[in-house]
Structure 1
């Protein structure tokens, strides 16, 4: 796995885990908005004008749609979590965030809840995931969380009450053990 620009401080971030765990956390002195700004800056470099989004074989218009989707999602970093929320003004739950981003960036309507979103589009093998794919998480075989894949093993999501929209890792930390599947939505 390649490192994100900005070095190891952005890897293994467990700030989105339900309980605080020792090690691998960003400095306590940094506020959430500082961390979000740092991460957004680093991700913006990844999404710069020369980024191919891992889909160099796609037409430029399609790459542009994916870039627009990711920029819209990353622009919401730091928005508070709110159960049932589906707008920047009221906050987001996980499916509210994903639905809002797809609707406003691409005009694509998705089902309201993660369990129903997990029936949308084509199942994608984890090794074949690319930017813009939906990633689903759950327990006991039941989907209960969704995010948008950013590439490089990272995804953006609204994790839980008390946390803001953030970027997390699929490969380490709390969410790595909850991953269930990925899906590619038609139209992106």
Structure 2
């Protein structure tokens, strides 16, 4: 199903996959997933296992108890917004080492730095360096306290400055994590990624 109205039905696109899952869970009739009985029936339609239904219901309750996520990327204008939207549109695309270029995915996906190469070219016609290490020399240096949406965040999580993400606002970044995981949005300014050294670069 085409969840983001881009004219393409892509199971690796997060919007398309979410809409397809919703349609599958709800079936062809009316469903009220706020009703525990109907929710359980929908989950069992997806996987007819009581244990699975119990687990999913538990995860839903845990998620509902979380504080609402905030993001300030909607307030960003101009080229930074276009770059962010280009990267976010690739959520759900597989990580592929060496994958991706200025035109899109290659080999079925992107690695972390080439996701940014694509997003900056697509959104702003800017071509940052190919590798995360080389991106440390792009644009100007920025402190953590001055981080703003559209900044490149190179992270020294492997002793070799081997990872990079795009700050999208609200404390989050979009990145291509590692083999076996798809492009995703994760917290940057709290939790796991804060323990590492960052080199923040502003190219816009």
Give TM class, smaller chain: 0.5 to 0.7
Per-residue CA deviation, residues 146-172 of structure 1 (Å, 9 max, x unaligned), is 111011211110000011000111233
Corresponding residue for residue 38 of structure 2: none
Alpha-carbon spacing, 1:47–1:130, altered in 2? closer, same or farther (3 Å)? closer
TM-score normalized by the length of structure 1: 0.65
Alpha-carbon spacing, 1:95–1:29, altered in 2? closer, same or farther (3 Å)? farther
Q: Residues 111 and 178 of structure 2 are in contact (CA less than 8 Å); yes or no, is this contact kept in structure 1?
A: yes
* CA distance in 1 between partners of 2:88 and 2:155 (Å): 20
CA RMSD of aligned residues (A): 2.2
> How far did residue 66 of structure 1 move?
1.4
Which residue among 120, 127, 147 is the counterpart of 1:109? 127
Which residue among 163, 166, 177 is the counterpart of 1:145? 163
Higher helix share: 2
Query: Which has the bigger relative contact order, CA under 8 A and spacing at least 6?
Result: 1
Q: Residues 99 and 109 of structure 1 are in contact (CA less than 8 Å); yes or no, is this contact kept in structure 2?
A: yes
Corresponding residue for residue 136 of structure 1: 154
Q: Which runs of 5+ in 2 are unaligned?
A: 1-54, 58-68
Corresponding residue for residue 78 of structure 2: 64
Say if 2:90 is the partner of 1:73: no
Q: Which runs of 5+ in 1 are unaligned?
A: 1-27, 31-41, 54-62
* CA distance in 1 between partners of 2:161 and 2:185 (Å): 19
Q: How many residues align?
A: 135
Higher strand share: 1
TM-score normalized by the length of structure 2: 0.60
| 1:1-188 mapped onto 2 (5 Å cutoff) | 29=56, 47-48=73-74, 51=75, 53=76, 63-86=77-100, 87-89=104-106, 90-139=108-157, 142-185=160-203, 188=204
> How far did residue 116 of structure 1 move?
0.3
Q: Which runs of 4+ in 1 moved over 4 A?
A: 45-48
